[in-house]
């Protein structure tokens, strides 16, 4: 707790937003984290340019900060900024664990699956991959729609010969099925698979481990925090306490252990500190009463509720949520962060896809323009599905929990 106390006091000394938090909440001991209010995604949206610590706003306008944007399973866009040295310090915590547990180095070749991974045209999700550097093959996951796409993908992975994969369960399941369908063996170079972004079902984890003949580990993280918890070889997902401090909030209050919403404080980001940020996930956090066989004594995330993606399958086509998320993310960036939330609902019986969008109060008059822009992008992408599309205004968003980007109603 000494590290947390030191960090909090430093933040209050250098950050006007948190000086106001301390003053307005009459916090008598700025080093006591339990006295701070919960920071919600709405607070983060509304104070995007107010949470900078002293001197960092100038660096933001000089484009000298690293920007991380997130909507994930929440459909609520938020932006977090890092001083580059702090960002890499935060990432080093996770890399050290990868090396210790699984022998994975940053310079080894790997494949990652991201949104908006291809630099170029605004809505170009037809490009499937990009060799980002000699050791990184970046896959545009929104482009993966048909079995043939996955066949091309596994051929590209075979050609690249990576050491490991950084992959979401939704994509991992499709790739495993493609290997089985086409009776292809994965490249023997792959010695490790890291699952991120969603819940990894145990049956999929076992299938992937058998297929690749390699360990499959969970990494729980976010764009706002980087690594939060990481699975050791003994199947315990330990908190990365050098990077974050994690609490659980439920109806009885906020606690260091138990089940509830993940309340997370990043201990490294000095440019835009996030203290007691409501991540939105429901987790179960357990204390260790004896050291884990891996040597760690850090608390363990034993369960994460939520973070499950669904997809619409029509014939051989998959209308996957990553394509929908990519579309809205691109448009939101083009319109200078006009959206405060977005989500999709699909009716199987009517073959009707509805996109619900919520605009900032000052930009509600832009709804029709934005609606036409979204339709102009979405309709060509899903014409082959025989699916109708509509855009509706979301009047009230539940800020206290995540909702699914894509929800199938019947």
Tell me which range, 11-15, 65-69, 129-133, 387-391, is most confidently predicted by mean pLDDT: 11-15
CA 15 to chain CA centroid, nearest Å:
26
d(CA 101, CA 103): 6
Residues in the chain: 410
% pLDDT > 70, the chain: 88
Q: Count CB-CB contacts under 10 A for residue 240.
A: 24
**CA-angle at 127, arms to 121 and 129, nearest 5°:** 120
How does strand 136-140 pair with strand 110-114?
Answer: parallel
Write down the CATH number for the domain with range 312-408: 3.30.300.30
Asked if 258 and 301 touch (Cβ cutoff 8 Å), the reply is no
Higher pLDDT, 193 or 400: 193
Q: How far apart are CA 257 and CA 282, in angstroms?
A: 12
* Of 297 and 309, more confident: 297
Tell me which of 223-232, 298-307, 312-321, 326-335 is least confident. Answer: 312-321
User: What is the per-residue pLDDT across 27-58, written as a single tens digit (0 to 9) for each?
Assistant: 999 999 999 999 988 889 889 899 999 999 99
pLDDT at 350: 83
Q: Has residue 336 got a pLDDT over 60?
A: yes
> How does residue 400 score in pLDDT terms, banded at 50, 70 and 90?
very low
The model's pLDDT over 223-252, given as tens digits with 9 standing for 90+, comes to 899 999 999 999 999 999 999 999 999 999
CATH classification of 38-308 is 3.40.50.12780, yes or no?
yes
276 neighbors 33 (Cβ within 8 angstroms): yes
Residue 14's Cβ-count burial label (10 Å; 0-12, 13-18, 19+) is middle
How far apart are the C-alpha atoms of 340 and 357, rounded to whole Å? 8
Res 118: pLDDT: 45
Q: Specify whether the CB–CB gap between 194 and 221 falls below 8 A.
A: no
**pLDDT value at residue 71:** 62
Would you say residue 374 has pLDDT above 70?
A: yes
DSSP secondary structure letters along 373-384: HHHHHHHHHHGG
**H-assigned helices in 105-201:** 147-160, 169-181
Strands 226-231 and 164-167: unpaired
H or E element: which one contains 197?
Answer: none
Residue 403 has pLDDT above 60, yes or no: no
Mean pLDDT for the stretch of residues 85-89: 97
Sort 328 into a burial class: Cβ within 10 Å, 0-12 / 13-18 / 19+: buried
Residue 9 reports pLDDT greater than 80: yes
Looking at 286-366, list the stretches that DSSP marks H as alpha helix, in order from N- to C-terminal side.
321-334
Spell out the domain ranges in the chain: 38-308, 312-408
% of the chain with per-residue pLDDT over 90: 56
């Amino acid at each position: 707790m000494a590290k947390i106390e030191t960090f909090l006091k430093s933040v209050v000394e250098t950050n006007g937003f948190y000086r106001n938090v301390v003053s307005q909440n009459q916090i008598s001991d700025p080093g006591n984290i339990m006295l701070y209010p919960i920071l919600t995604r709405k607070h983060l949206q509304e104070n995007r340019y107010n949470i900078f610590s002293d001197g960092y706003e100038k660096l933001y306008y000089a484009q000298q900060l690293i920007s991380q944007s997130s909507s994930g399973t929440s459909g609520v866009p938020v932006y977090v900024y890092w001083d580059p040295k702090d960002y890499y310090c935060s990432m080093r915590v996770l890399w050290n664990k990868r090396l210790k547990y699984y022998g994975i180095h940053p310079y080894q070749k790997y494949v990652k699956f991201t949104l908006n991974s291809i630099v170029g045209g605004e809505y170009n999700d037809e490009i499937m991959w990009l060799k980002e550097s000699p050791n990184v093959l970046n896959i545009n996951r929104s482009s993966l729609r048909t079995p043939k796409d996955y066949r091309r993908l596994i051929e590209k992975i075979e050609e690249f010969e990576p050491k490991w994969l950084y992959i979401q369960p939704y994509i991992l399941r499709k790739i495993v099925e493609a290997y089985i369908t086409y009776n292809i063996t994965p490249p023997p170079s792959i010695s490790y698979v890291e699952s991120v972004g969603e819940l990894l079902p145990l049956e999929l984890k076992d299938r992937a481990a058998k297929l690749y003949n390699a360990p499959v580990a969970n990494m729980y993280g976010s764009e706002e925090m980087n690594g939060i918890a990481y699975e050791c070889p003994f199947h315990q997902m330990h908190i990365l306490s050098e990077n974050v401090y994690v609490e659980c909030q439920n109806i009885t209050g906020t606690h260091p252990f138990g089940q509830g919403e993940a309340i997370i404080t990043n201990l490294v980001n000095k440019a835009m500190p996030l203290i007691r940020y409501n991540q939105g996930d429901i987790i179960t956090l357990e204390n260790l009463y004896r050291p884990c066989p891996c040597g760690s004594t850090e608390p363990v995330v034993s369960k994460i509720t939520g973070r499950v993606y669904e997809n619409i399958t029509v014939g051989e086509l998959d209308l996957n949520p990553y394509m929908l998320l990519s579309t809205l993310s691109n448009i939101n960036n083009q319109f200078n962060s006009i959206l405060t939330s977005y989500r999709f609902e699909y009716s199987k019986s009517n073959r009707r896809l509805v996109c619900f969008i919520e605009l900032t109060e000052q930009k509600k008059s832009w709804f029709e323009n934005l609606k036409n822009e979204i339709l102009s992008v979405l309709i060509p992408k899903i014409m082959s599905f025989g699916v109708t599309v509509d855009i509706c205004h979301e009047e009230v968003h539940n800020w206290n929990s995540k909702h699914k980007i894509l929800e199938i109603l019947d």
